[in-house]
Chains A and B, each alone.
Chain A
């Protein structure tokens, strides 16, 4: 009769100290190996399979080490995964290094087999202990890029005041990953010449605009390189909460552009399922299909279907006339077009949109337009 040690992983200790818990788990495992007994890890939160649709927890919350092969559908040695992961995290915590989930996965691809395993295990550990990923030293990877002049002063996790600065004379940088909801932002300073924040779908256009003199000290440019990740959206949230700048988004006139615009505005389908529907100030500013005089491409039937289903979803929950209308126009014209870095329609459309906001207030005043000289310079360079 082998004895079984039980280790509870739950969040009743305040504040939770992940390194202590992990040390405890690993010590129990070592001792179990030495005296041929087994260890039970009892998590207070279940392991959830799949990342997008969380209907029912499908895995038990008790993990035995050594584990039984038939328990696990997607990974015969899930208990080995746990132990390996905990060892990696503990080592990082002890040495003070930070890493990303992707890095952890690549440390032992043969064992983990796919990224989803790591994601699920880390989620379970965080949920059970009541900590965030950053407490375990696991930070999200940075994907988006920003460009402009910003200066942010914040209090980091240990209460120290830090300053994050970005200058428009430098090249663009990856979105910063030090902020999470717990970090206290003390101040955000931007030069008064900045007119608005521009969000772009493609990084090719982003790079083009960064290199031209058009955006220097006039705009803050952000791109998520396609679908935005959490960090990019959090950064935009930060900009919208702490400044009163307008945020305009420029996306391709096809279904993918509209879907990306929706992700910026409302979050991913995962967030929709969780009903985290916090609308933000981002205004979809184009480019409309009818603004293009060339570069139209044929549409595939699948894209028309996607467009129809998007309009279906838009119609129910959110009344968004402009995007719905754009979807209809794209379907009627039956073409799509993309913003290309060689002929950037953005200055023209931005002029359209800047004009829009002023027209409501003072219809008689001349709308604010991008100065024609800068416009010409930009187009001449192409």
Chain B
């Protein structure tokens, strides 16, 4: 049977569903028999979900204006060269 350490080494791939079918069966089995690893796997999965579900904040206006101004001067320079 797989040790907890072996399980944890594979946890990322397991959650990303990128393990081979054979390895997956072994990891599934470990989860059924080991409450600790079940908790770690479940809360790691939720950790990823909570970050993936976060929308990016708006860019501060001041920064947006600065960027657009810098870009505009590049755009003007390019048009002159064309």
Asked if chains A and B come from one complex, the reply is no
